[in-house]
Amino acid sequence: MATIRKLLQARQEKVVDTGNKVTVVGVGQVGMATVFSLLTQGVTNNIALVDMNADKLKGEMMDLQHGSAFLCNANIQAGTDYAITENSQICVIAAGVRQQEGEDRRNLVQRNVEVLKGIVPKLLKYSPNAILLIASNPVDVLTYVTWKISGLPKHRVIGSGTNLDSGRFRYLLSQKLSIAPTSCHAYIIGEHGDSSVPVWSSVNIAGVRLRDLNEDIGLESDDENWKETHAQVVQSAYEVIKLKGYTSWAIGLSLTQIIKAILTNATSVHAVTTCVQGEHGITDEVFLSLPCVLGRNGVLDVIRQPLTDTERQQVFHSATLMAELQAKIKF
């Protein structure tokens, strides 16, 4: 166009692929909360969105593109054709059915297995080197299913796991202690959800273990009733779903933290779903959360936390439940 030719003296081709492309499949509440925090935190400016609902997809894409003036050179594509996801570094799967009020996450399993069977091969066709990050529930079992369907090495298939539960735990501890959540060092491991395990034995502030101050902390015998904090974490999603119909912001921020750790090769530690066979005496090939070192290749290491006998038994119980659920899956 003549006006553009008069304005611009072209010197170089513009870079299109900035090397940090993230695909999000499922532009529902979880997918869009993730995309919004990725863009506003500047974790990536290169996003592809896929969903089977073409109108919603186009609406979300346009709404985000109209915000481009407030972002940093955002490149947002959307389509029902997976070709737009080509060359993604990370593919987030947040598609499928979600819990209704009072519904257990595990109840969603077979319906979301069918969804994954349609999604995973298409993602890998266009991004064979990507890391797959699963958010759809029940997230631990679906991470196992994604690993099975994909044929990828275990370190490249990660579930959002108990990073969110750990965040909720830290928030509730921060409220009790009047200390920032980022300074409350605490992990929840095991299953994302009902059988999750709070590692009370290692909860600490600046290296001061709360268990050294109260040897019963988190146990039935604790007269300060700290175990209620974990009960609140387990109830969190049910409560939010009852109040607003779904959960979105906290899981979006949690996924963003995981994606940032991978893209920046941060080697930071996060409780995410990975294969836990061989850890804490678990012999089944099950996927659950343990603290993992995350970097550009996905899960780089699993941290070997010393657990008390009670904590180990609880993780073992989670693993048994997962093995039973996995055995019932029809591929």
Q: Are 48 and 84 in contact (CB under 8 A)?
A: yes
Tokens standing for 24?
Answer: 């999000």
Q: Is 160 in the site for ligand 6V0 (CB under 6 A)?
A: yes
Kindly indicate which of the ranges 133-141, 214-222, 295-303, 305-313 contains the residues binding ligand 6V0, using the contact rule CB under 6 A. 133-141
SS3 (DSSP) at 185: strand
Q: Is 100 in the site for ligand 6V0 (CB under 6 A)?
A: no
CB of 161 to ligand 6V0, least distance (A): 7
Binding mask 57-96 for ligand 6V0 (x = CB under 6 A): -------------------------------------xxx
Q: Are 210 and 198 in contact (CB under 8 A)?
A: no
Q: Is 44 in the site for ligand 6V0 (CB under 6 A)?
A: no
Kindly indicate which of the ranges 11-19, 46-54, 146-154, 166-174 contains the residues binding ligand 6V0, using the contact rule CB under 6 A. 46-54
Is 66 assigned a catalytic role? Answer: no
How far is the C-alpha of 112 from the C-alpha of 227, rounded, in Å? 32
Closer residue to ligand 6V0 (CB): 135 or 210: 135
Write out the binding residues for ligand 6V0, residues 164-183 only, by CB under 6 A.
164
Write out the binding residues for ligand 6V0, residues 182-221 only, by CB under 6 A.
192
Closer residue to ligand 6V0 (CB): 21 or 98: 98
What DSSP state is assigned to residue 219?
S
How far is the C-alpha of 255 from the C-alpha of 106, rounded, in Å? 20
Q: Is 27 in the site for ligand 6V0 (CB under 6 A)?
A: yes
Closer residue to ligand 6V0 (CB): 35 or 307: 35
Q: Is 146 in the site for ligand 6V0 (CB under 6 A)?
A: no
Inter-CA distances, 205 with 162, 180, 186, 304, Å: 20, 10, 9, 20
Give the total of residues touching ligand 6V0 (CB under 6 A). Answer: 32
Tokens standing for 143?
Answer: 């991470």
Q: Is 291 in the site for ligand 6V0 (CB under 6 A)?
A: no
- Amino acid identity, residue 261? A
Q: Is 25 in the site for ligand 6V0 (CB under 6 A)?
A: yes
Q: Is 46 in the site for ligand 6V0 (CB under 6 A)?
A: no
Beta strands across the sheet bearing 287-295: 75-78, 46-50, 22-25, 90-93, 131-134, 157-159, 268-275, 287-295, 298-302
How far is the C-alpha of 180 from the C-alpha of 231, rounded, in Å? 21
How far is the C-alpha of 57 from the C-alpha of 45, rounded, in Å? 18
| Nearest by Cα to 81 from 57, 103, 102, 98 | 57
How far is the C-alpha of 156 from the C-alpha of 129, rounded, in Å? 9
Catalytic sites, residue numbers:
192
The residue ranges that bind ligand 6V0 (CB under 6 A) are 25-31, 51-53, 56, 94-99, 108, 112, 115, 118-119, 135-137, 139, 160, 164, 192, 246-247, 251
